[in-house]
Amino acid sequence: MQPLHGLRIIEFDGLGPVTFAGMMLADMGAEVFRLTRSESAAPAVFDQVGGSVLHRGRAAVPVDLKNPADQTRILALIDGVDAVIEGFRPGVMERLGFGPEALQARNPALVFGRVTGWGQTGPLAQAVGHDLNYIGLSGVLHAMGEADRPPTPPLNLIGDYGGGAMMLVTGVLAALIEAKATGRGRVVDAAMTDGSALLGGLFQALREQGMWSDRRGANLLDGGAPFYRCYACRDGGFVAVAALEPRFYAALLDGLRISPETAPQYDMDGWPALHARFADLFAQRDRDDWARLFDGTEACVTPVLSLMEAPDHPHNRARGVFDQRLPGPAPRFDGARNTPRHSSAVGLDEAVALWTARSSDQPG
């Protein structure tokens, strides 16, 4: 049994962070109904994108949010849930009659989780945007990439998933703990700009102390340090080198057959020349040759695997990280791997009847 077993959550279907958050909550045992667009409402948007992962573990319930009959049945569902999560632009849920004030008047303990790019307030609250725009405003995007090139988009991991979904899940779970104790729900305002700025907090703090430069590729963790970056190998593959601590750096130098006296670790003026020296050495052997050479050492050198290769790595296979080549739930509880539940589909009337029947079976 998973930790969130018994919790009921309504997810108003969307893209990006709300979908990822719904997946995580379902993976941890919550019973989630994902309200999707019915054919009478509008064609689904990218319904199948990532669906085998992002939509797993919960039932899709087609609805027309503007249809009065559907609205009534949705309210009946929400009356018996612990939380609602949604990712519409500010004001949309209120106009549909599903805003937090209206829903918490019916269900005072309801936790209402909202995730947007800019947040519920502020000059940009109603502006359009995507993940890249939000992390651009947070300062985090500027720090990513090579010094002589434009910032590199970090997929959508920082804004959508790190600054959005993870902050939403954290906020909803915190509010649920409080609601169980007080009987009063909260409105969780998770903005991707806020969340990605928080993720970059360490670097802002270092910058304030004069220990981080705004110049990309010139710092300890952004590829500026020759012992913390990726290198190309002879076969076109790459290795990740993360020899931060002195003893790990010593193991790296030993594997590369470099005398420590000729390669001081924290001589920043010497970093460009040392980077070139490392790059030349790594280019002389294939990626997997380097992986074998450093295997079992403390050099912190590992192969950079492609998405296709990752499921077949022995460590990932041993832990069952992937299920049919798709990533399984994380984190684990008590060390046990949770088998992902498959998605399903139910009608709105069926969903109401199902939860109503289960509610009547509860003691007290």
Which residues are the active-site residues?
A: 130, 160
CA angle 178, 184, 185 (to 5 degrees): 75
CA–CA separation, 241 and 230 (whole Å): 6
Strands 59-63, 344-345: pairing is: parallel
Cα–Cα distance measured from residue 339 to residue 178, given in angstroms and rounded to the nearest whole number? 29
Q: Would you mind telling me the total number of residues written for the chain in this entry? A: 364
50: left (phi over 0), alpha (psi -120 to 50) or beta: left
Three-point CA angle 120, 194, 228, nearest 5°: 160
- Distance separating alpha carbons of residues 68 and 70, to the nearest angstrom: 5
- The answer to whether 141 touches 132, Cβ cutoff 8 Å, is yes
The rounded distance, in Å, linking the Cα atoms of 364 and 82 is 17
